[in-house]
């Protein structure tokens, strides 16, 4: 399996292995970078600092690394360098160079003028697939795990693994999440190009193995302890050797003709042998099988049967004839469906969302022409709304997107992979979800137990609450912990947060038409609409939406016709109604009973109008007060290194200031007090006198000058009391 054009790349890979995996040196300079300290720092700042929401991979990465040492950015740049060795045309060489040097320069240093290894190559090995791009954070997390676990081994063991391909793949498959990651396939072909095919695709490997099975030697001696996929890797290696012996002097590349056509025939040709008299493409114990897997999209009307009602593992038969005995639309597809094909499960009106992934278990042949049987493989954790699929360039030719009339549609492998990636992108990394109890919440908060329990009870009953109070009382902090406590786990995707502002609209929150980048507009679901659909499917668990600064938005405009449905006794499908952008009378929407709203409101913001009375009737309003006298607040300051004198100064002086603010009920009042969170030190901070003075000078003093904007002398006097 020689690839002479890539010899320079393979030399760089060995250079990396020797300097970074066997030693701690940088791949670009002579400084140590691949150290235990940088691996641990990357865990803290990236692996354990999961960021969801809007923003590109690199925008989030910059935020994650911003509080780390300079070496951390340089180390991250070199991890990305390894990640970018394999992709050939999906990421331009110029883009690779720009991105790697950009991350490096977050350290404050320019990229080396004469790096030890090339910044990026003008070529790669292959196409890692859409998932490699959309899941870069998962792939780089796996690469980090590989490096961490590998460098934990003795030097002798590391040297041995880098010299033994089948020992390495056996070890690699034991790394957490290995068989779900493209880098599991990429690393072996980079390190051992004579033993592993240059492919990141499990599907391609399976196709090659099956199509060339006749070239396998009889009873090959398989290395012990290999996983299912490592065995396929080994068999492909034997197939490659066999083909080289049969075709001396020829270059055997499964991605070039004539070899590619054997395992991956052109799309316009039949993918399956349907005539038993014909020679099968692949022979297995079960008879004639497919050369490559096919992919389908299946519509289901909830009025007839529902993907959601099926348990994972349960089977369902879909008949090829309708109730009147007539062939269904695109009957030819029913004839083409074969066991092993994968199916996108879509619920039509009124849900209109992708909710499941299924697998065909029986085709028309196995059911005597009755239809096909499929098994539900998994639920989609966060259903993907129909309107959010329209206008996506990767789906512009997708059959069910172009015209959704009918039940069974064919999708291409690339379209299925893109949809699969959309589904995966909705999932929270397992490490990001942790158990969370009432006791955990109380450890974080300074309020009394009975007050916390009262708010929990009110939230369960009323469904909608607003936490209001002066700046610095931790309204948003409390909101998230109320949600976590009721959920029983810290799961941010079941408790997302939005922030209202003057420009926030119904289209942002519920539904609206958005440009697709191609000159067209398509209907898109907003944050609330998406969360409601998710909660509707997951009735056994609670969901929460935290609305920060709820009174900054035009609430009647943002909630629109859903104002009525927000009431606790108007939840459920029996109160469903049509939305502004509903496409038909069947296209209805409701707020489920397991969805709760938690708003926050700063009572010291003079610029805001009073909350709409209609909203006040639908929410319970809870006042949060400064907790300067709390024992938990005292312990927090102590744990941050604050001396007893400093703690007393904060409690007495800020307490006295709040008393003055309350007395000034003409201009201020209790809603303008100074909250305790101003004095909660950062996790790695030191609560000393310098820190205290900085909080006063840069956070409290500007606020007091705004409070007494017409009385500068009074404002300065109160500031002086705090610092002198």
Three-state DSSP class for 460? Answer: helix
Q: Is the dihedral of CA 90, 239, 250, 290 positive or negative?
A: negative
Confidence of residue 38 (pLDDT cuts 50, 70, 90): very high
284, part of any domain: no
Domain boundary among 133, 159, 192: 192
CA 484 from chain center: how many Å? 19
160, part of any domain: yes
288, part of any domain: no
- Using DSSP bridges, classify how beta strands 489-490 and 353-362 pair: parallel, antiparallel or unpaired: unpaired
Question: Quick one: 572 and 672 in the same domain?
Answer: no
Residues 6+ apart with CB under 8 A from 551: 500, 599, 601, 605, 608, 609, 611
Count of residues making up the chain: 724
Question: Quick one: 143 and 89 in the same domain?
Answer: yes
* Contact criterion met (CB below 8 Å) for 280 and 41: no
282, part of any domain: no
Three-state DSSP class for 317? Answer: strand
Question: Quick one: 24 and 132 in the same domain?
Answer: yes
Give the containing element (helix H, strand E) for 190: helix 183-191
User: pLDDT per residue over 275-319, tens digit each?
Assistant: 222 222 232 323 333 346 799 999 988 777 788 888 888 889 999
User: What six digits make up the tokens of 7?
Assistant: 């010899």
274, part of any domain: no
Question: Quick one: 389 and 458 in the same domain?
Answer: no
Check residue 466 and give its pLDDT.
Answer: 93
What does the pLDDT average to over 70-96?
88
Of 582, 583, 586, 599, the closest CA to residue 544 belongs to 599
Domain boundary among 606, 623, 640: 623
* Contact criterion met (CB below 8 Å) for 446 and 633: yes
Question: Quick one: 114 and 146 in the same domain?
Answer: yes
Question: Quick one: 598 and 636 in the same domain?
Answer: no
The CATH number assigned to the domain holding 445 equals 3.40.50.300
Question: Quick one: 487 and 604 in the same domain?
Answer: yes
Confidence of residue 432 (pLDDT cuts 50, 70, 90): low
- Using DSSP bridges, classify how beta strands 371-385 and 315-319 pair: parallel, antiparallel or unpaired: antiparallel
User: pLDDT per residue over 172-196, tens digit each?
Assistant: 999 998 888 889 999 999 999 999 9
Check residue 241 and give its pLDDT.
Answer: 93
Three-state DSSP class for 623? Answer: strand
283, part of any domain: no
Of 15, 66, 75, the closest CA to residue 40 belongs to 75
Check residue 693 and give its pLDDT.
Answer: 92
Backbone angles phi, psi at 722, to 5 degrees: -75, -30
Q: Which domain holds residue 211?
A: 201-267
3-state helix, strand, coil in the chain (%, to 5): 45, 15, 40
What does the pLDDT average to over 521-538?
83
Confidence of residue 273 (pLDDT cuts 50, 70, 90): very low
Residue 271 clears pLDDT 90, i.e. is over it: no
Confidence of residue 169 (pLDDT cuts 50, 70, 90): very high
Of 471, 653, 422, the closest CA to residue 411 belongs to 422
Task: Calculate the alpha carbon distances from 173 to 185, 194, 202, 227 in Å.
Answer: 10, 19, 14, 7
Question: Quick one: 438 and 474 in the same domain?
Answer: yes
Q: How far apart are CA 86 and CA 91, in angstroms?
A: 10
User: pLDDT per residue over 127-141, tens digit each?
Assistant: 887 667 667 888 999
Other beta carbons within 10 angstroms of residue 103's beta carbon come to 23
Confidence of residue 92 (pLDDT cuts 50, 70, 90): confident
Question: Quick one: 65 and 174 in the same domain?
Answer: yes
User: Rg for the chain (alpha carbons), in Å?
Assistant: 30
User: pLDDT per residue over 481-505, tens digit each?
Assistant: 999 999 999 888 889 999 998 889 9
Check residue 291 and give its pLDDT.
Answer: 42
Higher pLDDT pick, 537 / 489: 489
Higher pLDDT pick, 667 / 584: 667
Question: Quick one: 73 and 158 in the same domain?
Answer: yes
Tokens 């065909």 — which residue?
360
Helices (H), 619-688: 631-639, 644-649, 655-663
Average pLDDT, the chain: 85
Tokens 């072909």 — which residue?
189
Task: Calculate the alpha carbon distances from 423 to 2, 55, 337, 356, 369 in Å.
Answer: 37, 18, 23, 10, 33
Q: Which residues pair with 596 in a beta bridge?
A: 544
152, part of any domain: yes
Question: Quick one: 57 and 131 in the same domain?
Answer: yes
Backbone angles phi, psi at 621, to 5 degrees: -105, 130
Three-state DSSP class for 498? Answer: strand
Q: How far apart are CA 658 and CA 469, in angstroms?
A: 13
User: pLDDT per residue over 384-426, tens digit each?
Assistant: 888 778 778 788 889 998 888 889 999 998 888 888 877 766 5
The full 3-state SS of 23-35, as one line of letters, equals CCECCCCCCECCC
**CA torsion 43→44→46→47, rounded to 10°?**
50
Among residues of the chain, what percentage have pLDDT more than 70? 90
Residue 655 clears pLDDT 60, i.e. is over it: yes
Of 231, 237, 155, the closest CA to residue 193 belongs to 237
Half-sphere exposure of 402 (CA within 13 A, CB side): 11
Give the containing element (helix H, strand E) for 411: strand 408-411
* Contact criterion met (CB below 8 Å) for 99 and 61: no
Residue 614 clears pLDDT 60, i.e. is over it: yes
Q: How far apart are CA 667 and CA 569, in angstroms?
A: 39
Confidence of residue 89 (pLDDT cuts 50, 70, 90): low
Q: How far apart are CA 440 and CA 449, in angstroms?
A: 12
What does the pLDDT average to over 368-381?
87
DSSP 131-155: HHHHTHHHHHHHHHHHHHHHHTS-H
The CATH number assigned to the domain holding 377 equals 3.10.590.10
Domain boundary among 192, 225, 247: 192
Task: Calculate the alpha carbon distances from 475 to 54, 438, 542, 629 in Å.
Answer: 23, 17, 20, 18
What does the pLDDT average to over 639-649?
89
Give the number of domains in the chain.
5
Question: Quick one: 256 and 337 in the same domain?
Answer: no
Of 126, 372, 397, 86, the closest CA to residue 267 belongs to 397
272, part of any domain: no
Backbone angles phi, psi at 614, to 5 degrees: -65, -35
User: pLDDT per residue over 196-230, tens digit each?
Assistant: 999 988 888 988 999 999 999 888 889 999 999 99
């Amino acid at each position: 399996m020689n690839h002479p054009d890539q010899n320079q790349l393979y030399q760089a890979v060995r250079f990396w292995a020797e300097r970074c995996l066997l030693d701690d040196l940088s791949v670009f300079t002579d400084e140590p970078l691949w150290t235990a300290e940088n691996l641990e720092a990357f865990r803290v700042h990236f692996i354990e600092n999961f960021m969801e929401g809007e923003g590109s991979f690199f925008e989030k990465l910059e935020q994650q690394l911003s509080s780390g040492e300079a070496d951390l950015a340089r180390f991250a740049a070199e991890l990305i360098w390894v990640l970018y060795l394999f992709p050939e045309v999906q990421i331009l060489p110029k883009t690779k160079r720009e991105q790697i040097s950009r991350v490096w320069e977050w350290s404050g240093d320019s990229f080396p003028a004469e790096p030890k290894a090339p910044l990026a190559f003008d070529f790669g090995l292959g196409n890692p697939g859409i998932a490699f791009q959309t899941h870069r954070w998962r792939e780089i997390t796996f690469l980090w795990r590989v490096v961490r676990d590998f460098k934990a081994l003795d030097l002798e063991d590391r040297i041995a693994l880098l010299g033994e391909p089948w020992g390495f793949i056996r070890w690699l498959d034991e790394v957490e999440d290995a068989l779900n990651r493209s880098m599991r396939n990429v690393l072996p072909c980079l390190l051992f190009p004579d033993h592993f095919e240059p492919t990141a695709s499990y599907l391609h490997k399976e196709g090659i193995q099956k199509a060339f099975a006749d070239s396998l030697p009889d009873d090959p001696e398989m290395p012990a302890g290999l996983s299912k996929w490592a065995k396929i890797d080994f068999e492909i290696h034997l197939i490659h050797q066999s083909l080289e012996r049969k075709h001396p002097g020829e270059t055997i590349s499964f991605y070039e003709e004539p070899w590619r056509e054997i395992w991956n025939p052109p799309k316009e040709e039949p993918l399956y042998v349907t005539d038993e008299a014909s020679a099968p493409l692949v022979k297995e114990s079960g008879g004639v099988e497919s050369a490559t897997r096919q992919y389908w999209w299946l519509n289901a009307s909830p009025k007839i049967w529902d993907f959601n009602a099926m348990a994972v593992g349960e089977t369902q038969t879909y008949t090829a004839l309708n109730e009147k005995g007539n062939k269904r639309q695109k009957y030819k597809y029913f004839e083409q469906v074969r066991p092993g094909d994968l199916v996108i499960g879509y619920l039509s009106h009124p849900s209109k969302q992708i909710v499941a992934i299924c697998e065909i278990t029986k085709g028309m042949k196995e059911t005597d022409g009755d239809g096909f049987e499929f098994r539900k493989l998994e639920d989609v954790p966060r259903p993907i709304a129909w309107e959010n699929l329209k206008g996506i360039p990767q789906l512009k030719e997708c059959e069910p997107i172009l015209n959704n009339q009918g039940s069974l549609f064919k999708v291409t492998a690339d379209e299925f992979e893109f949809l699969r990636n959309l589904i995966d992108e909705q999932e929270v990394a397992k490490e990001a979800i942790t158990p969370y109890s009432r006791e955990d919440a109380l450890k974080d908060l300074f309020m009394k137990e009975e007050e916390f329990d009262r708010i929990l009870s009110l939230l369960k009953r009323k469904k909608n609450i607003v936490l209001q109070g002066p700046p610095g009382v931790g309204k948003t902090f409390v909101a998230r912990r109320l949600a976590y406590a009721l959920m029983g786990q810290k799961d941010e995707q079941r408790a997302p947060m939005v922030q209202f502002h003057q420009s926030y609209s119904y289209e942002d929150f519920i539904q609206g038409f958005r440009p697709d980048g191609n000159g067209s507009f398509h209907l898109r679901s907003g944050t609330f609409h998406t969360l409601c659909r998710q909660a509707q499917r997951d009735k056994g668990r609670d969901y929460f939406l935290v609305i920060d600064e709820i009174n900054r938005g035009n609430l009647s405009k943002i909630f629109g016709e859903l104002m009525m449905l927000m009431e606790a006794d108007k939840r459920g499908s029996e109160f469903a109604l049509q939305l502004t952008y509903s496409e038909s009378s069947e296209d209805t929407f409701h707020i489920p009973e397991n969805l709760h709203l938690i708003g926050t409101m700063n009572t010291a913001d003079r610029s805001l109008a009073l909350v709409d009375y209609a909203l006040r009737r639908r929410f319970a309003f809870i006042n949060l007060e400064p907790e300067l006298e709390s024992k938990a607040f005292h312990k927090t300051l102590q744990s941050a290194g604050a001396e007893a004198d400093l703690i007393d100064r904060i409690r007495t002086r800020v307490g006295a200031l709040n008393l003055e603010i309350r007395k000034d009920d003409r201009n201020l009042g209790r809603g303008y007090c100074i909250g305790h969170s101003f004095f909660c030190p950062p996790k790695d901070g030191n609560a000393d006198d310098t820190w205290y003075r900085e909080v006063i000078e840069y956070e409290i003093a500007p606020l007091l000058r705004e409070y007494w904007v017409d009385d500068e002398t009074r404002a300065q006097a109160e500031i002086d009391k705090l610092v002198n």
